[in-house]
A and B are shown apart, each in its own frame.
Chain A
Amino acid sequence: MTAALRVALWLGGAPPRCAIRWLDGALAAAARFPGATAVAAGPATWLDLAADRAARAGLPSVGVVTDLALDYLGWAQIMAAAARRLGATTILVDEASRPERFAEVCAIAELCEAAQLTHVVAIAPEAGAIHASRASGPTLQTVRITGPAVLGLRIAGSPVDEPATPSPAMRRSDLASLGLDPAVLGHRVVPPRAGAEPRRTVERVADHLADFLALRAPVTEREARTGKETRAKGSRSVKGARGPKGE
């Protein structure tokens, strides 16, 4: 019954940021679906690595050669076109290898008018459906999926000891063969960004960590709870001089 699911695995438009363990985990998860195909896009060096790891996992692979550096929606357009070409209705995404990729899960789902599920940590095919476990903060949700869907995988493979070896076993195509116009897709190109130097002082590290304080209530909430109306040092009124009530 699982053969009814036509599965494609999106490996993304760039290699894993640090290690290929999550890439291997996604490939191993996809290999549980008969007939699944791995899809990658980007420069040739990345496609060589993707082809090698897919072959080791026993998956056929397709590579879309492009030098474009795209945003989430640009890569999603490529994968959506590739999925249509492959006839895939279930799309798995290696979400963990690069932190920005979880956004592509939702964008592919939107373009394919499919259901979506991010942060999937376990997956199992079952009688034409898929059972998945999803991490949602402190909760693990168990979900049953039927019909077209895009799932973002955060499943780690085993540690890899052997070095990657280039492999030619990948079907290569280009944007035009998927019906995509590089000039149109170029509107989703992101400008090159210089790699930031690691922060090395307590003050700068604290600045960085401050972007992860979103789980704490902001000052307004804490002050409101204690009834304090005095303004924090350096703070401003929530409604500045401009705006609909400050005009």
Chain B
Amino acid sequence: MAAVLVHIDLDGARPHASSLQALAAGRAVASSWGATLYAAVIVHDPARRTSESVVPGVAAFRLPGEVRVIEAVRTTLARGGADKIVVAKTPVPIEPLWSTLGPAWQAILDRLRARMVVFGADAPSAPELGPRTAALLGARLLLRAHAVPGDHVELRDRDGGHVGAGDSGATVALIGSAPRLAPHSDDDIDVMVLAPAGAADPRIELVGSAPAALVHTTGAVIAIGDDAAGDPEIARAAAQLAAALGASVVGSADAATAGAVASGAVLPPGAALAPALCVTIGVPPVDLAGATSVVQIAAAGGTGGDATLNGPIAPNIAELARALEGR
């Protein structure tokens, strides 16, 4: 039977929200295609060291709840629809880098030989693990895909790429959104624990980390122009939309003075951003050529981007926010 494999990033001791979206999409595909849905987690096992005499290869056994982290995520993943859970232990502290996670992830891939591998598009490890996995498998790659219901569920991405039950070959998909699915109550599912050999790639050495500046964001932003920021109703609606999207509102110092932008979200004129999504309101003083997707609201003569909304600004934004909150 074919396998659908979902990579689960952890956010503390819980599965990352984006990974749970990927799990929901994987569930829809697996149920439609008659496949087994595996959810795979890589956990740091500080008890293991690279010099430790771990038997190379794989030690697989049924062992729910052996590790506290495993127990913490097991129920959530079971309720999310996983048929089986795979946990790979690594002696390396978890960082969202191929150099850190690659050896353990490859062991999972080698073990399961999945037909489809799924990541949450906004999960921390997805940019590093997703495309590398696709290249390893020689697979087609879907970016920010979603499940399309039908007789046989398909995955489609915004560029027109798609995969269905009848397509041959492997597929790797980074999931942007998933269907609404009710929780499953079967908590009694197998947990397979792997202890693969292999340490971090010494060619990439993590020296340190710090909070990223807003200009480096890779997520979603709402960029508001000065004219729009001066209208309190628009500013309120922008904040509502930002909350619905999990985005930050950015703008100029004048927009901050008007109260539409927090003091830490002020950008210098002409600042270049490369977020996954930028919603512009009015004409913000930022360069968005690097944005993956641009949605323009009340842009003077705005006809470009993926979407353009003209008409009453604040009501349109508020309606957008309400529509997203309901999803």
Which residues of A come within 8 Å of B, CB atoms? 16-19, 21-22, 25, 71-73, 76, 96-97, 99-100, 102-107, 109-111, 114-119, 121, 131, 135-149, 154, 156, 159, 190, 193-194, 196, 198-206, 208-221, 223-224, 229-232, 234-246
With A138-B211, A208-B295, A221-B20 known as contacts, the answer to whether A238 contacts B183 (CB < 8 A) is yes
B182 touches A100 (CB 8 A): no
B204 touches A213 (CB 8 A): no
21 cross-chain CB contacts under 8 A: A18-B288, A106-B128, A115-B99, A115-B201, A115-B204, A116-B132, A140-B210, A144-B204, A145-B205, A198-B305, A208-B295, A209-B245, A209-B279, A212-B177, A215-B246, A216-B246, A217-B17, A217-B20, A220-B181, A231-B182, A232-B182
B181 touches A218 (CB 8 A): yes
The answer to the question of B164 belonging to the interface, with a C-beta cut-off of 8 Å to chain A, is no
Please, which residues of chain A bring their CB within 8 A of the CB of B24? 218, 220, 238
What distance in Å separates the Cβ of A226 from its nearest Cβ neighbour in chain B? 10
A224 touches B79 (CB 8 A): yes
B127 touches A99 (CB 8 A): no
**CA distance in complex: A231, B160 (Å):** 31
Contact with A along B279-299 (1 / 0, CB 8 A): 100000001111011010000
**CA distance in complex: A96, B97 (Å):** 19
**CA distance in complex: A92, B202 (Å):** 19
The answer to the question of B51 belonging to the interface, with a C-beta cut-off of 8 Å to chain A, is no
What distance in Å separates the Cβ of B225 from its nearest Cβ neighbour in chain A? 18
Cβ-neighbour of B212 out of A135, A238, A244 (below 8 A): A135
**CA distance in complex: A200, B204 (Å):** 45
B144 touches A116 (CB 8 A): no
With A138-B211, A142-B208, A221-B17 known as contacts, the answer to whether A213 contacts B140 (CB < 8 A) is no
Please, which residues of chain B bring their CB within 8 A of the CB of A193? 159-160
A110 touches B132 (CB 8 A): yes
What distance in Å separates the Cβ of B43 from its nearest Cβ neighbour in chain A? 19
Cβ-neighbour of A212 out of B75, B181, B277, B316 (below 8 A): B277
**CA distance in complex: A223, B76 (Å):** 11
Q: Give how many B residues have a beta carbon under 8 Å from the other chain's beta carbons.
A: 111
A198 touches B306 (CB 8 A): yes
Contact with A along B28-44 (1 / 0, CB 8 A): 10111111110000000
What distance in Å separates the Cβ of A246 from its nearest Cβ neighbour in chain B? 6
A224 touches B183 (CB 8 A): yes
The answer to the question of B196 belonging to the interface, with a C-beta cut-off of 8 Å to chain A, is no
B324 touches A210 (CB 8 A): yes
Interface-side segment among B108-116, B216-224, B249-257: B216-224
B176 touches A213 (CB 8 A): yes
What distance in Å separates the Cβ of B182 from its nearest Cβ neighbour in chain A? 4
**CB-CB nearest in chain B for A221:** B20
What distance in Å separates the Cβ of A151 from its nearest Cβ neighbour in chain B? 10
With A118-B127, A240-B32 known as contacts, the answer to whether A218 contacts B144 (CB < 8 A) is no
Please, which residues of chain A bring their CB within 8 A of the CB of B308? 198-200
Cβ-neighbour of B209 out of A121, A139, A212, A224 (below 8 A): A139
**CA distance in complex: A146, B309 (Å):** 48
With A214-B122, A217-B20, A238-B182 known as contacts, the answer to whether A209 contacts B295 (CB < 8 A) is yes
B320 touches A243 (CB 8 A): no
What distance in Å separates the Cβ of A98 from its nearest Cβ neighbour in chain B? 9
Give the top 7 A-B pairs by smallest Cβ distance, nearest first. Answer: A156-B272, A240-B31, A238-B81, A211-B176, A19-B289, A106-B131, A103-B131
**CB-CB nearest in chain B for A131:** B207
A239 touches B184 (CB 8 A): yes
A208 touches B306 (CB 8 A): yes
**CA distance in complex: A106, B24 (Å):** 26
